[in-house]
Amino acid sequence: MEVLIASEDIQRRVCEIGKRIASDHPVGIPLLVGVLRGCVIFMADLMKNIPIPHEIDFISVSSYELSSQSSGKPRLVKDLGCDIKGRDVIIVEDIVDTGHTLEFMRQTFLERGPRSLKVAALLDKRPRRLRPVPIDYVGFEIPDRFVVGYGLDYAERFRHLPYVAALSPEELDAEPAARTVGAT
């Protein structure tokens, strides 16, 4: 496991994004929509760094299931609990990979008439992009490596790590349930 982005660097960047979100929304109360489950740590840290009133909600869209390959067919597993008509909505993602999930969410939300729709993604794996989706707030661009930590998983492991790390092909081939350095 190779650390790609240290915890301190993530915290610094999340703070910057939070301030930018605040300055971009001088009026109104933005609604942050976290995409479960990978968003949870980014969402929690981002909220603490947005110094204006805002609300949160969550959706769940699954396209990877237990595989490391995107099926390319996102599925809405849990919808919003509120109406977004006229709202300033910010989708909060841990990672944009092929872009299929984000494209699906943008289409779904735009049909509901928000006043604005923006996207905040901690990680942008641009080399893998298949759909041309706009991202307003990007934490870090990353290479085409399988990454875990800070909310991201491999077979549901490693989400708790405070940093972003890349798994080697050998680690990806290994039994996912096995305990690996850095995981508890």
- What positions carry a catalytic annotation? 97
Binds ligand PRP by CB under 6 A, chosen from 17, 91, 96, 120:
96
Binders in 102-161 for ligand PRP, by CB under 6 A: 102, 153
- Among the listed residues 30, 32, 59, 98, the single contact to ligand PRP using CB under 6 A: 98
Cα–Cα distance measured from residue 83 to residue 111, given in angstroms and rounded to the nearest whole number: 12
A 10 A CB-CB count for 81 gives 8
Q: Could you say which residues in the range 28-47 bind ligand PRP, by CB under 6 A?
A: 35-38
Least Å distance between CB 153 and ligand PRP? Answer: 5
Q: Which of 15, 13, 47, 7 has its CA nearest to residue 30? A: 47
- Phi, psi of 148, rounded to the nearest 5 degrees: -135, 170
- If the CB atoms of residues 99 and 149 are measured against ligand PRP, the closer one turns out to be 99
Q: List alpha helices for 76-144, DSSP H.
A: 100-110
Q: Which residues bind ligand PRP (CB under 6 A)?
A: 35-38, 61-64, 70, 93-102, 153
